Structure 1
Amino acid sequence: MRDSMARLQLMGERAAPVFVRGQGSWLWDAEGRAYLDFEQGMGGNSLGHSPTLLLDALRRQAELLVSPGRQYCSRGQLKLAARLCEATGSERAAFCSGPVEANGLAVRLALQWAAEQNPAADTLVVLDGSHVALPAQLGATRVLRVPFNDLEALAAVVDLRCAAVLIEPLQLARGVVPATLEYLQGAQRLCREQGAVLILDESSSGMGRCGALLAEELYGVRADLFTLGSALAGGLPLAAVLARGRIANAAADALPQACPGEALLTVAGVAVLGAVLDGSFFAQTREVAEHLREGLAHLARRHAHGPLRGHGLMLGLPLIGQRARIVQRAAREQGLLLGMAGDECLRLSPALTVSHGNVEEMLRRLGRALQRVEQRCEEVA
């Protein structure tokens, strides 16, 4: 009763479960009902709910030091920065509380560096459909938005005035739409030719989500700056900016030395990074991702939806003639949690540790949800 009253105070009349426990791909609500979670905090819970290795790392660190203060370094921060740089071929790393802050820091760093190289560089190019929040203060910087996956449109604005280009390799807001190979490689080429900084927002696509540590690896490109989101620390509020090559030296002075996450969160990042860099982790992720893609594609054909979009374990299922919110609600009635990417697309972002059995159970529950929605539509008609 107390949980029900609190829920009404928090959310008004919107009915929603109150979750009290999680383990792996499962969540349990206050009434004891189990839900199969294929949303996982928009993919931020990279290793699922309450993984043992993460809990152990947090427990050990909490007994030693939680926070030395924002202005000081901790051993965990130094260790995570070193391991991230080694794993990604980067030279500098800084940490933030979330991807919005990380992307803002990356943009400011790119604009500062570009202005020092070329005073005429005053333009930031952002792709339409990007969910990236730009810094509030950009001075005299022009912000141009161009269509995603349109290399001709991008080439028209990447000139000597272009300071930086910010791209999400996998655009969630547009319905989990990946960049094409030609587009992302072409964007890198244009940036190199004109001296612009290439920034990749990997807050949703990084940390193994696409079957490799970074999505850029799938495309054979190399960003000057890239950002990571909460998947870095298994869903905890930690993000990162990493700098390479020509911009790394400038970053030495511009990137902050202290980490808002301080000791506890950066130790979580060390634990998660160690897990995903295990020799067999990405192979297992790609194997279960293929199982998920094949099963979803079969289900989509049976119910006249699709085709699928995305990479690895971040997939979008476009719906034809149905609203994503309605199907999402029907899935929740079946004990299945899914995300949405727009009004007409379901988003699936399970834990990277999801099992083949979890995938099969998800397909059964989603199949029942889709069938139930179709039956309701027929009843209304």
Structure 2
Amino acid sequence: MNVAVSRDLYEHVMVPNYAPVSVVPVDGRGARVWDQDGTEYIDFAGGIAVNALGHCHPDLVEALTLQAQRLWHTSNIFANEPAMRLAHALTQASFADRVFFANSGAEANEAAFKLARRYGVRTGGEDKHEIVANLNSFHGRSLFTVSVAGQPKYSEGFGPPIKGIRHVAFNDIQALEAAVSSRTCAVVIEPVQGESGVLPASRAYLQRARELCDTHGALLIFDEVQTGMGRLGTLFGYEHFDVVPDVMTLAKAIGCGFPLAAMLATKEAARHLELGTHGSTFGGNPLACAVGETALKLIDRPELLRGVQIRHTHFVSALTVIGKRYDLFKEVRGIGLLLGCVLTDRWKGEAKHVIDCCLEHGVMVLQAGPDVIRLAPSLVIETEEIDEGLARLAKAVKQLSREPVAM
């Protein structure tokens, strides 16, 4: 039976937990995307920081194609070559000694939080099970990860939350000091809070977290699902802040669009997740790891990482001018190519309206809460694509500026 595939079909066949826009993308190359009608868009959203090398990068397509002709899946009853090569490359490039592969950021964080609990109980007894996390953080949508994230809107309505989690204000050193104790098994931090407004941690906050974990025998976990893989202009976000965690989670850009995630850990931490304590049917899949291995090689290059900083300056300068000219942005913040444009009081709460208008003018952007427009484009987006996208964004902002003041 032939079915007309349009946005209308979505309402009839999909669980209603998402509300996608009317545009249905069907093709992408680099930083350009085309919808079912052939309309072109400049992509400043990057699949929410996923498409770090743009759409359909030829080297990634080749890696996937070659592996697809050899071996798709074996399960973790067997080791496979792409997974071992990628794990070795990740440990060589980072602080970590061991890698666990998963399929999404939530799964990588689930593994990290289970490891933290296991580590705490085995090193300090049943009382050493508390996880200290930040208010307004985001770590995924499993029951454990929404409990760790300090956002009730994601955890309410699903029964009792997981106990033993303490939430403190982001970048509040005194609150962190008051929360961490001998009962703490881990402190979990996003180096940049992406979903809650693109808010970078302070180096002092991360350094103090490191010191407190060392003092109390707790693990320091960095959720680098959004900040890892070159996004901040360093291969991993912790390098930007010069603070080294015990555990780090990666997803999004590690597979550049192919489902892949990883939890990286020191040997001392990883040894507590021994045989049979955790697993994943598809984690470490040969297809995903073949793509991830190629993505890592492409991203972990000095010229690419320097290019992120150059693009950062270009974006921030232009966005600041646009924002001031039309009284839309009062601040442009962020690190590397994870940027947040904070709306002025006039447009407070209207982020969704702004991104819809941008889409109408042919540029894809994101929101990070109701008051912030987020950009997370390809790390290799061409200058002419940046300029064209910014021109389209400026036209959208100009149109918005003529609208009545929001009440």
Answer whether contact 1:115 1:122 (CA < 8 A) is retained. Answer: yes
Q: Does 1:301 align with 2:324?
A: yes
Q: Distance in 2 between matches of 1:184 and 1:303?
A: 36
Q: Distance in 2 between matches of 1:68 and 1:5?
A: 33
Q: Unaligned stretches of 5+ in structure 2?
A: 13-18, 148-160
Q: 1:46 to 1:250 in 2, by over 3 A?
A: same
Q: 1:275 to 1:15 in 2, by over 3 A?
A: closer
Q: Distance in 1 between matches of 2:69 and 2:142?
A: 37
Q: CA deviation at 1:177?
A: 0.6
Deviates more, 1:259-268 or 1:366-375: 259-268
Answer whether contact 1:45 1:234 (CA < 8 A) is retained. Answer: yes
Residue 219 of structure 1 aligns with which residue? 241
Answer whether contact 2:252 2:260 (CA < 8 A) is retained. Answer: yes
Residue 367 of structure 1 aligns with which residue? 394
1:113-128 to structure 2, matched below 5 A, reads 113-119=119-125, 120-128=127-135
Answer whether contact 2:6 2:24 (CA < 8 A) is retained. Answer: no
State which of 168, 173, 179 in structure 1 corresponds to 2:195: 173
SS in 2 for 1:192: helix
Residue 208 of structure 1 aligns with which residue? 230
State which of 265, 272, 297 in structure 2 corresponds to 1:274: 297
**How many residue pairs were aligned?**
379
Residue 6 of structure 1 aligns with which residue? 6
Answer whether contact 1:23 1:48 (CA < 8 A) is retained. Answer: yes
Q: Distance in 2 between matches of 1:158 and 1:174?
A: 23
Equivalent residue letter for 1:162: T
SS in 1 for 2:331: coil
Residue 26 of structure 1 aligns with which residue? 32
Q: What fraction of aligned residue pairs are identical, expressed as a percent?
A: 31
Equivalent residue letter for 1:317: C
Q: Does 1:132 align with 2:159?
A: no
Answer whether contact 2:128 2:182 (CA < 8 A) is retained. Answer: yes
What is the root-mean-square deviation of aligned Cα atoms in Å? 2.3
Q: Distance in 1 between matches of 2:295 and 2:239?
A: 19
Residue 338 of structure 1 aligns with which residue? 365
1:1-381 to structure 2, matched below 5 A, reads 6-11=6-11, 16-119=22-125, 120-133=127-140, 136=143, 142-251=164-273, 253=275, 254=277, 256=279, 259-304=282-327, 305-320=329-344, 321-322=346-347, 323-377=350-404
Structure 1, residues 179-226: CA drift from partner, whole Å, max 9, x if none? 011111111111111111100000000000000011111111000001
SS in 2 for 1:193: helix
Q: Distance in 2 between matches of 1:348 and 1:135?
A: 25
SS in 2 for 1:67: coil
Q: Distance in 2 between matches of 1:175 and 1:203?
A: 16
Structure 1, residues 28-70: CA drift from partner, whole Å, max 9, x if none? 1111111000001101111110000000000111111111235
Q: CA deviation at 1:3?
A: 8.7
Q: CA deviation at 1:73?
A: 2.1
Q: 1:358 to 1:166 in 2, by over 3 A?
A: same
Residue 151 of structure 2 aligns with which residue? none
Deviates more, 1:196-205 or 1:136-145: 136-145
Q: 1:266 to 1:188 in 2, by over 3 A?
A: same
Deviates more, 1:234-243 or 1:62-71: 62-71
Q: Distance in 2 between matches of 1:219 and 1:251?
A: 28
Q: TM-score, normalised to structure 1's length?
A: 0.94
Q: TM-score, normalised to structure 2's length?
A: 0.88
Equivalent residue letter for 2:270: A
Q: Distance in 1 between matches of 2:162 and 2:129?
A: 7
SS in 1 for 2:69: helix
Q: Distance in 2 between matches of 1:125 and 1:170?
A: 17
Equivalent residue letter for 2:135: D
SS in 2 for 1:41: helix
Q: Unaligned stretches of 5+ in structure 1?
A: none
